[in-house]
Amino acid sequence: MNDARPLLEVRNLRVEFPTRRGVLTAIDDVSFDIAPGEVLGVVGESGAGKSLTGAAIIGLLEPPGRVAGGEIRLSGRRIDNLPAEAMRRIRGKEIGAIFQDPLTSLNPLYTVGQQLVETIRTHLPLSPAQARSRAIDLLKSTGIPAAEARIDHYPHQFSGGMRQRVVIALALAVDPKLVVADEPTTALDVSIQAQIISLLKKLCREHGTAVMLVTHDMGVIAETADRVAVMYAGRIAEIGPVSDVIHQPKHPYTVGLMGSIPSIVETRERLAQIDGAMPRLNAIPPGCAFNPRCPRVMPVCRERRPELMPAGTSLAACWLHQPHEAAATAAGTIAAGSATGLSTGHAADEAAGKAAGGAGIHGGAAR
């Protein structure tokens, strides 16, 4: 497999909802890559745009939501502007989807075997008997006991955890290159969440499947992801190798987010909860969307939107990582506004010199 080209390329993605009061921008200029076989974790508070990003990739944005800008490529092929039928084929064959609620993916009127066999035969040239045999193997690989008998059961005859195993089997049925998993364990009993995640991780490793894993569980991210993207108000705040983002977060929002998850910060200084709430889509402030909540806000943050900038091995959309720009703008602001005595943001100095190297939005070779 050629790891040089990313498997998935999301470039300047913009998702909008037209409303009577104007257009709401829910995803605003989001760019990232996923390498073949790589697991990208996506985190952020509720409403950050994680699910919409996943839905745009798998072509399941619900109208009136629409991709209004940018592009999405899978193995170099543009997939954001395909007709519905072509996208449906890609969705079965090349991209698998796993949602929070297993019942979203399963039809209650058909046995799990019928659903697996149909998916397999739609995409692979197999006889009914061959497809059934593949389906049984898939169910076994997901740890469903007595798969030969269970294959003829209906979704409601399975427990929540077993149902999500069926969904994983369905998502991986024809060996897709990418699986988009949106909070795949949130609806499940806490006691089985870890099992399902490790199953997903194991199967994707074995199959060489890349995963976009949306979750609010940083523990899951730490154990599963190669890289992590932190989303805030429809934008990427920070993206980088998972251990760096967790242990040396570069964006004040990530710092706050990590501080609010005690389990993984045991070895770190405990940080304060982030005050305030994420803005509504119709009230995203100018400049940095995080500025009203940011403990390190500078004048530039209220005026100019920070793009993703190199910050150690990560990228962070934060002016702290481009201190010269920040200082110049701040100085300009002060000059223009006469001598108000505003701080120019000394925090910027601290960040100087941090911007060495950088992983870019591109994944490293996953393994």
Ligand X SMILES: Nc1ncnc2c1ncn2[C@@H]1O[C@H](COP(=O)(O)OP(=O)(O)O)[C@@H](O)[C@H]1O
- Min CB(19)–ligand X separation in Å: 7
Preceding peptide of 292 cis, ω within 30°: no
Q: What is the DSSP string of 244-305?
A: HHHHS--SHHHHHHHHT-GGG-TTS---PPPPS-PPPGGGPPSSSTTGGG-TT--GGGGTSP
The dihedrals phi and psi of 27, each to the nearest 5 degrees, come to -125, 125
Closest to ligand SF4 by CB, 151 vs 257, is 257
Residue nearest to Mg ion (CB): 51
- Min CB(45)–ligand X separation in Å: 7
- Min CB(68)–ligand X separation in Å: 13
Closest to Mg ion by CB, 57 vs 139, is 57
- Min CB(306)–ligand X separation in Å: 20
Interface mask toward ligand SF4 for 304-323; x: CB under 6 A: --x-----------xxx---
Closest to Mg ion by CB, 261 vs 265, is 261
Residues 226-285 that bind ligand SF4 (CB under 6 A): 251-252
Which of 9, 15, 28, 51 touches Mg ion (CB under 5 A)? 51
Do residues 174 and 119 make contact, with C-beta atoms less than 8 angstroms apart? yes
Residues 37-66 that bind ligand X (CB under 6 A): 44, 46-52, 62, 65
* Alpha-carbon distances, residue 105 vs 13, 135, 155, 166 (angstroms): 25, 16, 10, 10
Residue nearest to ligand X (CB): 51
Do residues 166 and 102 make contact, with C-beta atoms less than 8 angstroms apart? yes
Report which of 224, 218, 222, 256 is spatially closest to residue 237, judged by C-alpha positions: 256
Place of tokens 């007595």: 146
Interface stretch with Mg ion, choices 45-53, 269-277, 303-311, 320-328 (CB under 5 A): 45-53
Rounded distance between C-alpha atoms, residue 201 and residue 218, angstroms: 15
Report the interface residues with ligand SF4, using CB under 6 A: 251-252, 288, 290-291, 294, 296-298, 301, 306, 318-320
Question: Which residues of this protein are in contact with Mg ion, per CB under 5 A?
Answer: 51
